[in-house]
Structure 1
Amino acid sequence: MASSASTEKLPFYSSCDVADALLTLKVPGAGYIPDIHQWSPQYKAGYTRVFGPAYTVQMVPVTDTEAPKPDQHFVDAVPEGTVVCISQPDNMVNAVWGGLMTARAQVRGALGVVVDGRIRDLNEQREAGFPVFARTTSIMGAGPFTRASALNVPIKMHPNPNHPAVTIHPGDYIVADADGIVVIPKDMLAQVEAQCKKSTAVDDQCMTALKAGEGISTTFKKYRG
């Protein structure tokens, strides 16, 4: 288990810092989920940073009558202080997250939502100031197309076939900002914090040297080795 100190400090590291740390720690794909972008409160801009444990939702097509059904709506089940992570079936034109869901999620205390799929009601999301990350948008609602099946189970996000799929387990840590999304296995939080602390200190030295007029090659050789 990670210490509370780790949980408090890690939000100050960016998704890029965390991905670099996971790459150094030899996590396959560095936990990176490509091609999912910040849409709210701004589109790929600003200083919004989401950090928290994952609450996972597996969606299926409504035509799948054999998949289980949750006892309650998946947003009503969101635990306080979590990041909602939704896996939508491929090649669906509908959104699986909209303004009404954001309203309920905020009351439940959700930190944000990451959707491997589509979202809608952008103005409502932005007016609410709720952090929303997704592949893209749609004007179509979920009802005729998809439904939630399993909650708080391992899900896979694989928006880019040229990058390894990322499995998100309930309780894994999500870091999401304007640069992108990265998933930290829940038993690696302390290791990631330590690596981030080390690598960002080196980057700070590099930045100081570069602003003082040193070249990239010289600076990298001096500080990165």
Structure 2
Amino acid sequence: MENVPIPATLSPAIVQTLCQLTTATISTVLFKKGLRNVWLRGAMPLMAGQPRVAGRAFTMRFIPMREDLANPQAWSSPRSTRVAIEQMPAGCVAVVDAMGVTDAGILGDILCARMRYRGVLGLVTDGVVRDISGVRSSGLPVWARGTAAPAAVASLTFVNWQEPVACGGVAVFPGDVVVVDEDGAIVIPDAYLDEVLSAGPEQEKLEAWVLSKVEAGEALPGLYPPNEANQARYKNGE
């Protein structure tokens, strides 16, 4: 596959707008545009209270472990997770394809601390991390399947970064936009970013109005989704 230029880092205004949208709302907006497979399975908040983050995806990819490659020397290889982290730009979200493996931690406290120092906004993976106490202390928000004590080389081989990956059953390309919150991670293909920025805030406002009516005792049929009469009420601020 030819190298495709990565879109520019998201502007602060775009990040601010995306961080006001839930991943559930973004999922609905993309569903209406025909995109259904955009939620990364297994990438859930590692800690309570993690902030919602939004940024361009910086991808990393693991494949199954092979004995001749699974050794301590792999940590010093020019194609290692250490080298990949030094390529991460500030404002990105690391998306790591670990094939759903849960018996070896892809990254630990030291690497997460370095990512945080470099301005990486968060780590998203369908695998697990290790050194959980230190990862928490690093301040890097992490979405993963959990934790494991063994190092990645016990089950996985790191092969590359900034190429298309399959994380949580979703195709993620370098530069895709990733938004992550308590419901997990959503991938927004760059071509759909403007649609999300336009329709997302309106979807949030509409659902807030519907919720206010439900809390006031109104029945759901015709209200959610709103029929023509209720759409008129919403637009008129009733």
Superposition TM-score tier, normalisation by shorter sequence: 0.7 to 0.9
Secondary structure at 1:19 match in 2? helix
2:86 aligned partner: 76
Read off the aligned partner of 1:49 and give its amino acid letter.
Answer: R
**1:148: how far off?**
2.0
Q: Does the Cα contact within 8 Å between 1:202 and 1:224 map onto a contact in 2? A: no
Q: Deviations over 1:6-59 (max 9, x none)?
A: 344111101111111111111132x1112221103x2xxx35101100000011
1:57 aligned partner: 60
Unaligned runs of 5+ in 2: 1-6, 70-76, 233-238
Q: Distance in 1 between matches of 2:23 and 2:102?
A: 28
Q: Distance in 2 between matches of 1:155 and 1:91?
A: 15
1:36 aligned partner: 43
Which region of structure 1 is more displaced relative to structure 2, 120-129 or 190-199?
Answer: 120-129
**1:123: how far off?**
1.9
Of the three residues 12, 27, 42, the one matched with 1:19 is 27
1:162 aligned partner: none
**1:90: how far off?**
4.8
Q: Distance in 2 between matches of 1:64 and 1:155?
A: 23
Q: Does the Cα contact within 8 Å between 1:74 and 1:148 map onto a contact in 2? A: no
Q: Distance in 2 between matches of 1:171 and 1:32?
A: 16
Q: Does the Cα contact within 8 Å between 1:36 and 1:133 map onto a contact in 2? A: yes
TM-score, with structure 1 as normaliser: 0.84
Secondary structure at 2:126 match in 1? strand
Q: Which is greater in Rg?
A: 2
Q: Does the Cα contact within 8 Å between 1:154 and 1:168 map onto a contact in 2? A: yes
Which protein has the bigger strand share?
Answer: 1
Which region of structure 1 is more displaced relative to structure 2, 205-214 or 183-192?
Answer: 205-214
TM-score, with structure 2 as normaliser: 0.80
Q: Does the Cα contact within 8 Å between 1:118 and 1:138 map onto a contact in 2? A: yes
Q: Distance in 1 between matches of 2:57 and 2:36?
A: 19
Q: Deviations over 1:110-135 (max 9, x none)?
A: 00100111112222222232210112
Instruction: Give the aligned CA root-mean-square deviation in angstroms.
Output: 2.5
Identity rate of aligned residues, in percent? 24
Q: Does the Cα contact within 8 Å between 1:69 and 1:148 map onto a contact in 2? A: no
Of the three residues 166, 173, 179, the one matched with 2:177 is 173
Q: Distance in 2 between matches of 1:199 and 1:35?
A: 26
**1:99: how far off?**
0.8
Of the three residues 185, 191, 214, the one matched with 1:187 is 191
Read off the aligned partner of 1:20 and give its amino acid letter.
Answer: T
Q: Does the Cα contact within 8 Å between 2:108 and 2:131 map onto a contact in 1? A: yes
Q: Does the Cα contact within 8 Å between 1:6 and 1:190 map onto a contact in 2? A: no
**1:78: how far off?**
1.6
Read off the aligned partner of 1:21 and give its amino acid letter.
Answer: V
Map residues 119-130 of structure 1 onto 2, 5 A cutoff. 119-130=129-140
Unaligned runs of 5+ in 1: 159-164
1:216 aligned partner: 220
Secondary structure at 1:216 match in 2? coil
